[in-house]
Chains A and B, each alone.
Chain A
Amino acid sequence: MTLRISFLAFLFGLFSFGAVAQSTQSDYEIQKSFKKQYAEYQERVEQVSSPDSAEALIASIRDFDQEYSKHSELLNNALYPDTYRQRIEELKESSVVAMNRLKTIKQQTQKLDKLETQLSSYKNDLQQLNHHTDSLKRAMEESIQSEKKLSGMVREYRQSLEKRDELIMTFIDSMVIAYEQMDLQSLKDLENVDRKSRLESNGDALKMIHDISAENLDILQKNADKLRLQDYMRMADVQQQFETMWTRLGSKIEEVYNGKNAEDMANEVDQNISKWNQMLKQQTLAALKDTLAQSDIAVSGFSTADEFYSSLNSYLDNHIQKSKKNTSEAGYSNFKSFQKFWNEVEVQWSSNFVDAGLLTKPQMATLNEKVDTWAENAQPRSNNLLVYLLGATALLAVALGVMLIREKKNKPSA
């Protein structure tokens, strides 16, 4: 019994002390503790690194509010000119913003992981193709004496390059789809928040883009003799798409890059694209010269896009003038050759010509008009006048014959 009373007395004492301690708080300590905890929460909001921990933080801030809202009047004085409510709302808002940001980052991380897998796959495919083209090239060098074998190999080599370009185009599409949905700021945040895991990931878009641009440049430099105009036209298309992708997404791709030399690598990509563009233009002009020569289209020499336009222009003017004066089978044959070349340009490659800066749209239109004019005058004219005279003579003879027969019939018999 005595023990029970002592225990109850102890409990009562404990409770009373708790009540006393609770009722006697220092205002100074309350506001100091609030300010300290508030600063800690602000720091936690800035440093929070996952949506789950952000959600936990939001709940904790709610509890923090509940704990201090009963001191709001006191804290209004302590926080003047701000108010307790303002400060709490700011904290809540920033924690929600942080959570949303982390959710976006998580989504982007997932997208990036998917992209990394795709990249690895592209990388493997590209390596295999490069390996294949390299062995083809070696084989071509070895079989230089057998012309027939060589020509088959060159064809296969060109097909292999075509496949490589197709793969690059698919890669570009993947890049565009993946990176366009991403926000640059979030990618920067992602680097800060999740740097460790980013560094552990496999494959890298920037490295791959860098390598593709360097390899393409290499292919252009080393294979000028094996490529034809249609190869260059396809390559120009790839180059345009590649450059557009890089211009639009380069900064994002650079941001995601894991390595230390991202800026240097991005600069090299810029330089490679610029050289690639320039070299492609020069070699396309050379291929055009060959194609025109093979088609017996004797234009004057050119080495720039402007000169190419001038050559075509003067060639057409010259032939239009000639055909207006005198048409001939040889002139018509020239026209046919040119028309075949020009139809291919107009139907298949007009956009490539314009995009590659070989011809502008107004220049294309001018040349089109001239080709039409030449078409009107190119066909050799037949000697129609003679046919008409012969026809008229025959008709006249028939008419005279009919008249004579009628006269004979009408004459009364003597």
Chain B
Amino acid sequence: MKSLIQTIPAIGLIAVLSLTGCKQSMVISKVDYSQSIESVLTPNEDGVVRDVQHGLTFNIKPLQYAEMQDTSSVTTSQVRYIRGKEGFYYITAPNYKNVYVMIPEKGRLKLEKKLKISETGLEQPALNQRTSHIQLINQSSGEAWKLNPESVEKQESQMANKQEK
């Protein structure tokens, strides 16, 4: 009886260890998701954009609603997005006041952070991949911002230039 009492915990311990081993998933670290050049897409009448090259399709109406609180019709003629090193999607459009940092999840994109850029919106935004960050520029004014998943920082022109190099 005594030996039975000693044996049962031992078997249990072995079983727990074995199960733990089976559940352990493989992890590949140091993955670089960076997309070298932004995608510029035109939404259809339902607001769906399709990036054939990168295999991504989504509806921009939630973003439009976040910007304008209106989804009665698709008012955005162009959507620009780029994927950063960590895998976040930075999405914006002409005249948007924000850049939306989205994280991909199973069958959806989840808002990670809304980066406020301007009160009036950028007339001609563009996203560039840089070594340490994503660069947002307004092509009409020449202004530049340094974007990270958590923060946005306006760049001085010369600084932006140096950082490019």
Contacts and interface: CB of A to CB of B under 8 A. Distances in A.
B38 A23 contact: no
Contacts of B80: 28
B72 to A, nearest CB: 30
B128 A21 contact: no
Contact of B157 (A20, A29, A74): A20
How big is chain B's contact interface, by range? 20 to 34
Contact of B144 (A17, A24, A78): A24
B54 to A, nearest CB: 13
Interface in B88-135: 126-129
Contact of B139 (A17, A29, A77): A29
Interface string A146-164: 0000000000000000000
Interface string A110-131: 0000000000000000000000
Given A74-B37, A77-B37, A26 B158 contact: no
A23 B36 contact: no
B63 interface: no
Contact of B142 (A17, A28, A74, A77): A17
Contacts of B157: 16, 19-20, 23-24
B37 A24 contact: no
B160 A31 contact: no
A27 interface: yes
A24 B36 contact: no
A78 B128 contact: no
Nearest to B142: A20
B142 A78 contact: no
B164 interface: yes
A172 B37 CA distance: 65
Contact of A74 (B36, B126, B158, B161): B36
A27 B37 contact: yes
B60 interface: no
Contact of B128 (A16, A19, A27): A27
Interface string A1-40: 0000000000000001101110111111101000000000
A24 B137 contact: yes
Given A29-B126, A31-B37, A74-B36, A24 B158 contact: no
Contacts of B67: none
Contacts of A27: 36-38, 126, 128-129
A23 B135 CA distance: 12
B155 to A, nearest CB: 9
Nearest to A76: B36
B40 interface: yes
A28 B38 contact: yes
B98 to A, nearest CB: 19
B38 A24 contact: no
Contacts of A20: 142-143, 157
A327 B94 CA distance: 120
Nearest to B160: A23
Contacts of A19: 157-158, 161
A21 B126 contact: no
Nearest to B135: A24
Contact of A26 (B36, B126, B161): B126
A19 B158 CA distance: 8
Contacts of B139: 24-26, 29
A74 B128 CA distance: 10
B30 to A, nearest CB: 20
Interface in B2-59: 36-38, 40
A27 B127 CA distance: 8
A77 B35 CA distance: 9
A16 B129 CA distance: 24
Interface of A: 16-17, 19-21, 23-29, 31, 74, 77-78
Given A24-B160, A27-B37, A28-B37, 10 more contacts: A19-B158, A20-B143, A20-B157, A21-B142, A24-B142, A24-B157, A28-B38, A29-B126, A31-B37, A77-B37
Q: Which A-B residue pairs are the 10 nearest by beta carbons?
A: A26-B126, A20-B142, A77-B36, A23-B161, A20-B157, A24-B137, A21-B142, A27-B128, A24-B144, A24-B142
7 contacts: A20-B157, A23-B144, A23-B161, A25-B139, A26-B139, A27-B126, A77-B36
